[in-house]
Amino acid sequence: MRYIPTLLLLVAVFFSCKNESRPSKEDPAMFREKPAASTISEPLQLPKTGAGNFESLVADFEDKDRGIWQKPELVISFLGDLKDKTVADIGAGTGYFTFRLVPKAKRVIAIDIDPRFINFLDSVKVRLPEVYRDRFESRLAKFDDPLLKPGEADNVVIVNTYAYIENRAQYLKVLYQGIAPGGQLLIIDFKKNNLPVGPPDEYKVSLAQVEHELTTAGFKISKVDKDVLDYQYIILATKPVK
Ligand SMILES: C[S@@+](CC[C@H](N)C(=O)[O-])C[C@H]1O[C@@H](n2cnc3c(N)ncnc32)[C@H](O)[C@@H]1O
């Protein structure tokens, strides 16, 4: 009888450990694991990053090895000369791209729907050399509207975020209004094929689907690249000058 409390304690510890180690759908950390092959052909909606642990999201986005596969400077060069341009970074997260764009552009608007990232961006802004600080602006947007003023952005980048956007047809219509005529939209996201980084295949939006959604929204595809980045495709689209 005197062993019963110890036994109950061991059973309680066993079940609490089991729950902690169970991968949760809301935890993007699970995306670092190689998922099993899927039979689903339609992309699923990615769980909102807002549900994930903030520290692990920051660590993930700012991973020191990310530069090897993300090649941010090369990616940014797709936009050409940014000296006189306003660039909106939609789904800016920790500002991995935002803060690399600031020294090159006239103005950079870091847009996100998660207030934790807006606070993070504002707090790390002080690390920018003083001459650049006025070029940076953060903007808390809505999940269905980036809250750009008409024609406000000359260029828009959406990196590793496109698949999080729900009802993309409607979103692209709204975004189109926020881009100046002749302006560019750069979308970078993960290729299918069970890669060591990025979400499982069933959550990814295929290159063909992005192209289709962009042209339906009125953009012209100016460049498609599947080779520069090992794990990602790059699409550059333009808003035609009427
Ligand atoms: C995977 S992170 C990518 C962050 C950053 N672009 C990068 O490459 O490091 C996706 C980001 O998009 C944001 N996000 C998700 N849905 C969004 C939406 N509808 N509009 C704007 N941002 C969104 C999330 O809060 C998160 O910061």
Q: What's this model's pTM, rounded to 2 decimal places?
A: 0.83
CB under 6 Å to ligand 1: residues?
49, 61, 90-93, 96-97, 111-114, 117, 141, 143, 159-161, 164-165
- Alpha-carbon gap, residue 101 to 135, rounded angstroms: 10
CA of 92 to the centre of ligand 1 (A): 6
CA of 57 to the centre of ligand 1 (A): 11
Identify the helix (H) or strand (E) that includes residue 72: helix 72-77
The tens digit of pLDDT for each residue in 186-202 reads 999 999 988 999 999 99
* Spatial CA neighbour of 50 closest among 1, 107, 9, 91: 91
CATH of 54-238, one of 1.10.238.10, 3.40.30.10, 3.40.50.150, 3.40.50.460: 3.40.50.150
> Which ligand 1 atom minimizes the distance to the CA of 188?
8
The tens digit of pLDDT for each residue in 9-46 reads 443 333 332 332 222 333 333 333 333 333 334 567 76
Burial of 63 (C-beta count, 10 Å sphere; 0-12/13-18/19+): middle
CB-CB contact of 124 with 146 (8 Å): no
